[in-house]
A and B are shown apart, each in its own frame.
Chain A
Amino acid sequence: MTSLPLADLLGLSAALLGIGLFGILTRRNFILLLIAVEISMNAAILNFVIFSAFLSGDAGVNGQAAAVVLVGLAATEVAVGLAIVLALNRQRGSINVAEASSLKL
C-alpha cells in the first residue's frame, strides 16, 4: 500500500480548478469553454477520490461513489453542450461567444 501527502494532492486539485477558472474567464470559443468547465469538474472529482482514499469504510466508499456519479454527470453535460453548439452552428456558422452579438456578455 502506498501513502501520499494529502496536502500535495489537494494542491494539484487546486491548481486544476484554477486553470479551469482561468479558461472560463479568458476563452471565447464555446468548445474551449466546455473544456475549461470539464477541467474544473475533474478537479472536483479528483478531490472526491483523494479524500475517499484517506478514509476507510463506508465514509470512504461514499466519496468514490460520488466520483462515479460525477463522471456520468460531466459526460451528460458535455453532450448537452455539444447539442447547443451544433444547433447554433447550423444557424449561424460560428460558435464564438463574443460573436453572439445580440446579447451582451
Chain B
Amino acid sequence: MSPEDLAFFGLAGVAVVTALLALLVRELVHTILWVSVFFVALAGLYFLLAAPFLGVLQLGVYAGAVTILLLFGVMVTRKRIFSREAATGIGPAPLGLALLTIVLLATGAATASTADRPLAMHPVVALANTLFGIDGGWLLLLGLTMLGALAGAIYLVREGRE
C-alpha cells in the first residue's frame, strides 16, 4: 500500500464516520463538531486529489464559515445550548432507500474505468481563466443567486417595527 492509498482510506474513513456521527448524535452542538471534522477530512481529500485550491476553499468556506453559521444557528434557536434532536424511530424504508442508492452507485463506480494514470494537477491560472473568462456565466449565476439570497435573508431575520 502506498502512502497515498493509506491517506485516502484514512480520510475516507474519517469522512464517512463523522458524517454518520453528525446525523446520529443527540446533542446538536456535537453534531456541529462532527460535521466540521467531516469538512476538514474532505479538504484533505481535495489536497490528495491534486486540487489544493479547492482544499483551501473547503477549509475557509465549509470548515470555517458554514460551521460558524450552523453553530450560530444552534445557539440562537435554543435557550439551552445543548439541545437535542427529538427522538424518532428509524424505519426500514429510509435505510433501505439510502442503501439502495449506495449499492446502485457503487456498481456504477465498479464499472468506471480504472486506468492507472497520474492525477492531473490543474494550475490555478487555468482555473481562474475558466471561472472569469469570457464565458464567466457560472459565476454570474452564482452572483445572481447570492443577490436574491442576501436580500431575502436580511428581510427574514430583520426585526421590523411592526
Quick check: do A and B touch in the complex, using CB within 8 A? yes
Q: Spell out A's residues near B (CB within 8 Å).
A: 1-23, 25-29, 31-32, 34-36, 38-39, 42, 45-46, 49-50, 52-58, 60-62, 64-69, 71-80, 82-87, 89, 95-96, 98
Tell me whether chain A's interface is mostly helix, strand or loop, or mixed.
helix
Q: Are A78 and B142 in contact (CB under 8 A)?
A: no
| A53 contacts across to B, CB distance below 8 A | 49-51, 119-120
Residues of A with C-beta under 8 A to B126: 58, 61
Does B99 belong to the interface (CB within 8 Å)? yes
Chain B residue with Cβ nearest A75: B61
Establish whether residues A82 and B73, one from each chain, have CB atoms under 8 Å apart when the complex forms: yes
**Which residues of A sit under 8 angstroms from B70, Cβ to Cβ?**
31, 34-35, 78, 82
Assuming the A-B contacts A17-B102, A25-B97, A64-B53, are A2 and B85 also in contact, with contact meaning beta carbons closer than 8 angstroms in the complex?
no
Shortest C-beta distance, B103 to chain A (Å), equals 8
A–B complex contacts, Cβ < 8 Å, 24 sampled: A2-B2, A2-B50, A3-B118, A4-B5, A7-B114, A8-B109, A9-B49, A10-B106, A17-B105, A22-B97, A28-B86, A34-B73, A35-B35, A38-B66, A49-B46, A49-B49, A49-B51, A52-B51, A64-B51, A78-B66, A83-B152, A83-B157, A96-B86, A98-B88
Cβ contacts under 8 Å, A46 to chain B:
42, 45
Chain B residues contacting A64 (CB-CB under 8 Å) are: 51, 53-54, 122, 127
A-contact 0/1 string along B130-154, CB 8 Å cutoff: 1100000011001001100100111
Contact in complex: B51, A80 (CB < 8 Å): no
B81 interface residue per 8 A CB criterion: no
**Neighbouring B residues of A29 by C-beta, 8 Å:** 28, 85-86
Bound-complex Cα distance A46 to B127 (A): 17
Q: Which residue of B lies closest to A10 (CB)?
A: B109
A87 to B19: give the CA distance in the assembly, Å. Answer: 27
Cα A38 to Cα B39 in complex, Å, equals 10
Residues of B within 8 A of A (CB): 2, 4-5, 8, 12, 15-16, 19-20, 22-23, 28, 31, 35, 38-39, 42, 45-46, 48-51, 53-54, 57-58, 61-62, 65-66, 69-70, 72-74, 76-77, 85-86, 88, 90-91, 93-95, 97-99, 101-102, 104-106, 108-110, 112-122, 126-127, 129-131, 138-139, 142, 145-146, 149, 152-154, 156-157
> In the assembly, what is the distance between CA of A25 and CA of B8, in Å?
29
Distance between B17 CB and nearest chain A CB, rounded to angstroms: 10
**6 nearest CB pairs, A to B:** A14-B105, A10-B109, A25-B94, A83-B153, A22-B98, A1-B118
